[in-house]
Structure 1
Amino acid sequence: MTHAAKGVRAGVLGMAGALACTSLVACGSGTGKEPGSTGSSGAANGAGQSSGAADGGTAAVRSASDRTTDAGTARMVLRTQVTTQGKTVSADGQGVIDLKNGTSTMTLSAEGEKIEQRVVDQVLYQKLPPGAREGVPGKKPWIKMDLRKLGAQTGGTNPSAGDPAANTAFARGVMDKDVHKVGTEKIGDANTTHYKVKVDVAKLKGGAELRKVVGPTLPMDLWIDDQGRIRRQQVDMTMTPPKGQGADSSTPKKITSRTVFELSDFGTKVTAEAPPAAETADMTAKAAQQAQQGKQQG
């Protein structure tokens, strides 16, 4: 694995739930296609203007997370692009999700490799390709991370990494003064309104630690349908290692990422089961140890 690929993996593991493909993005270091665009392809309704009481934009954005969760279940698509040291890794995922309890199934692919992912009762399971099982006890096909235990052991740091359901929570951290209506456009068969916003990182779960890596705010684009539900969400991050990290030549000075999360077919059936215990290696403690080491170095 190249130094760049190692750096991408380190950066992805430090993100608070924006990437559901934490293990997959370490599988290669090629270039990929642009996963999304912040530009609106529809009619410009008040483009670039702050959305205040007149158009209800701020209220719509702030309520979008709850309205989306209230929809119950949905099909999801995840597109991620991570760049460091001139290398780009792209990953794509498709699956279904229960937006209320976080249960989900997804197939992720990147660089010709595929990962099957499940989240069951807040435990993340990933079935790794054979070439990515080095370092996994017994080289078992499945790894798991208990997201609740990981959060408790790291003092709330990054408890939701890898959980697709965490994506919709970003809308709860939106700063009212930084909500701007871009226009309207079609997402699939849904009419949506596109907003550009800024997220107060401190308001996110594990935000205190995340802020050390990405700064105080994150730019985000939201496409909200006529029922107030999120149809597309795009989050851009620029991550830099905290002071005390990065001295190792294998650690990148900067990692940039874009994650596009789309929802459709609300009400679809979602079923997921934990894989057989005999085929699963618990990586929770190792992930917590790495997170603690990172905090101490920072």
Structure 2
Amino acid sequence: MRRTALSTVVFVLGALLGACDGETVAFADARALADGTTSAIDGKAAKFATDVTAGAMRSKSQGQARVARAGTALAMTTDFLGEPLELRLVDKIVFAKVPESAREDVPGGKPWVKVSADGADPFSQVAGGSIDQLAKQNDPGRALDQVRRAGTLIESGRTELDGASAERYRLDIDVAALGGDLPAGLSAEAVGELGGKLGKLPMELWLDDARRPLQVMLDLAPVLAASGAPDSAMARIVTRYTEWGTQADIQAPPPDQIGELPGG
């Protein structure tokens, strides 16, 4: 009788331990997920590749990110409007490398310019918002901050991503709770024009066993739906992170290589 009871206890404990090892995830709500993952990647660097899809349009980016609570630094290339474009994000300032064919428009023919979403120069006025978002949407720290401020955890579980063990979290991001820090190039004006039709954006986050992001997917189909696009229209941003712990010396361009475009 005693052996039977002991065997039962051992079996139950073994089942519970097995469930903890293979089924449970580290975080039970959105805030804990954001805080824990932010701590896991603070001061670390990784490589990333981003795929942006909007209907028939597709854009790809790749680069390195060095994450810090004070601000992530990025060095990346992207096929912006079909042309290769090199960007750096350092100290919350976005720098763009001017194509050689357009450097005659930069005083002194300097290869780099600062780009701002609210800049007065013609380049910033035409493309500043898009370029600013291209750089910042690859920042895992920013995505986690949006989860912290506006996320609701919908579902979580253990899974595999490209054959590696992963935790997968599915969330809803409340657009209204984000204030002015909207994802994917959305502006407050654009959201206002949708007349309150845009409520929440689905997000999925995959973490490795060290609680570092492996993949972040933001579903933008609700934006198209609120704009009246067909239900089948797809729009999403998928960013993959690899080689956490890589060395990434990301600096702003030298001051003597940065030109200033005249205001418009």
CA 277–105 in structure 1, closer or farther in 2 if over 3 Å, else same = same
After TM superposition, give the deviation of residue 172 of structure 1 in Å. 1.6
Q: Which residue of 85, 98, 123 maps to 2:67?
A: 98
After TM superposition, give the deviation of residue 193 of structure 1 in Å. 1.7
Instruction: Show the counterpart of 2:211.
Output: 228
Matched ranges for 1:163-182 at <5 A: 163=136, 164-165=138-139, 166-176=142-152, 178-181=153-156
Q: Does structure 1 retain, via aligned residues, the 8 Å contact 2:74–2:89?
A: yes
**1:202 equivalenced with 2:160 (yes/no):** no
Matched ranges for 1:115-134 at <5 A: 115-130=85-100, 133=102
Amino acid at match of 2:85: I
Q: Percent identity?
A: 23
Instruction: Show the counterpart of 1:145.
Output: 115
Instruction: Show the counterpart of 1:74.
Output: 45
Structure 1: how far apart are the matches of 2:104 and 2:148? 37
Structure 2: how far apart are the matches of 1:284 and 1:270? 33
RMSD, aligned α-carbons: 4.3
Q: Which residue of 229, 237, 248 maps to 1:270?
A: 248
Matched positions, count: 215
After TM superposition, give the deviation of residue 185 of structure 1 in Å. 0.8
TM-score (norm 1): 0.56
Amino acid at match of 1:196: R
Deviates more, 1:133-142 or 1:216-225: 133-142
- Larger helix proportion of the pair: 2
Structure 1: how far apart are the matches of 2:105 and 2:146? 32
Structure 2: how far apart are the matches of 1:203 and 1:75? 29
Instruction: Show the counterpart of 2:167.
Output: 193
Structure 1: how far apart are the matches of 2:263 and 2:34? 31
Q: Which residue of 259, 269, 285 maps to 2:237?
A: 259
Q: Does structure 2 retain, via aligned residues, the 8 Å contact 1:184–1:194?
A: yes
* Stretches of structure 2 lacking an aligned partner (at least 5 in a row): 1-21, 120-128
Once the two structures are superposed, what CA deviation does each residue of 1:110-164 show, in whole Å capped at 9, x if it has no partner?
6874322211111111214345x499644753231357x87xxxxxx99x63323
Amino acid at match of 2:145: A
Amino acid at match of 1:78: A
After TM superposition, give the deviation of residue 195 of structure 1 in Å. 2.3
Once the two structures are superposed, what CA deviation does each residue of 1:176-202 show, in whole Å capped at 9, x if it has no partner?
3x51136511357x5212222211112
Deviates more, 1:137-146 or 1:224-233: 137-146
Structure 1 counterpart SS, 2:28:
helix
Q: Which residue of 215, 237, 248 maps to 2:198?
A: 215
Structure 2: how far apart are the matches of 1:137 and 1:267? 37
CA 200–111 in structure 1, closer or farther in 2 if over 3 Å, else same = closer
TM-score (norm 2): 0.62
After TM superposition, give the deviation of residue 220 of structure 1 in Å. 0.8
Structure 2 counterpart SS, 1:274:
coil
**1:280 equivalenced with 2:254 (yes/no):** no
Q: Which residue of 81, 84, 102 maps to 1:114?
A: 84
Structure 1 counterpart SS, 2:84:
strand
Once the two structures are superposed, what CA deviation does each residue of 1:231-283 show, in whole Å capped at 9, x if it has no partner?
2100121446x99xxxxxxxx99x96321122233333222222244543457
Once the two structures are superposed, what CA deviation does each residue of 1:201-224 show, in whole Å capped at 9, x if it has no partner?
123251481643682211111112
Structure 2 counterpart SS, 1:58:
coil
Compare CA radii of gyration and give the structure with the larger one.
Answer: 2
CA 140–126 in structure 1, closer or farther in 2 if over 3 Å, else same = same
